[in-house]
Amino acid sequence: MKLLDIIKQRRSVRNFLSRPVEREKIMLCLEAARLAPSACNSQPWKFVIVDDEETKGRLSRAAFSGVYSMTSFAKKAPLIVAVVSEKAKFSERIGGLIRDTRFYLIDIGIATEHFVLQAEELGLGTCWIGWFDEGAVKKILNVPRDRRVDVLLAVGYYDKGKLGQPHKRDSLEEIAAFNSY
């Protein structure tokens, strides 16, 4: 499939089938993420794949409850990916300070979307998750205190016939301009 067709086909998936995801497919998604660009080639990411039922159960119960229970659809995902933001290279951090930009968030965004698009090509659905209990996730996955888990991904097979309408997007005229804002 052409890249633009994969991009057009992708939606956030919140209903997953119980079918397990093959390790080979996960490895391809990880390879796509690994090859992502990053400021100063800092590669400030580590993807923790949670596919063990017991760990995933503990993680989902802790991460998606209370104020975060609106994300509880992710409990049924066959796997959860915790995107750990690693310490960026010194040059990236200095550059970010001078520019007043958190380049590491841009970096993990690109790498995670590489993962997502590769997953889509392999027939897997994904949903980015920003609404979860980060402290609980870090504790259960043994993530060091000085690291962040800014996003999770829910990943799995899904029933393509049951997807809703695609979300609306702004028009090209609204989002782009040539030569002047």
Residue numbers at the binding site for ligand FMN (CB under 6 A): 11-12, 71, 127-131, 151, 167
Between 66 and 130, whose beta carbon lies closer to ligand FMN? 130
Distances (CA, A) of 132 to 19, 28, 30, 76, 123: 24, 26, 22, 15, 26
Query: Minimal distance in Å, beta carbon 109 to ligand FMN?
Result: 7
Closer to ligand FMN at the Cβ: 67 or 98? 67
Q: How far is the CB of 91 from ligand FMN (least distance, A)?
A: 26
CB 53, min distance to ligand FMN, A? 22
φ/ψ of 113, rounded to 5, equals -70, -30
| Nearest Cα to Cα of residue 149 among 46, 31, 79, 30 | 46
The DSSP symbol for 165 reads: P
Closest separation between CB of residue 131 and ligand FMN, Å? Answer: 3
Q: Which is nearer to ligand FMN, 171 or 179 (CB)?
A: 171
Q: Is the CB of residue 33 less than 8 Å from the CB of residue 115?
A: yes
Angle ∠(19,25,28) on CA atoms, nearest 5: 160
- Considering beta carbons, is residue 29 or 89 the nearer one to ligand FMN? 29
Q: Is 15 exposed, middle or buried (0-12, 13-18, 19+ CB in 10 A)?
A: middle
Q: How far apart are CA 125 and CA 10, in angstroms?
A: 8
Min dist. Cβ of residue 139 to ligand FMN (A)? 19
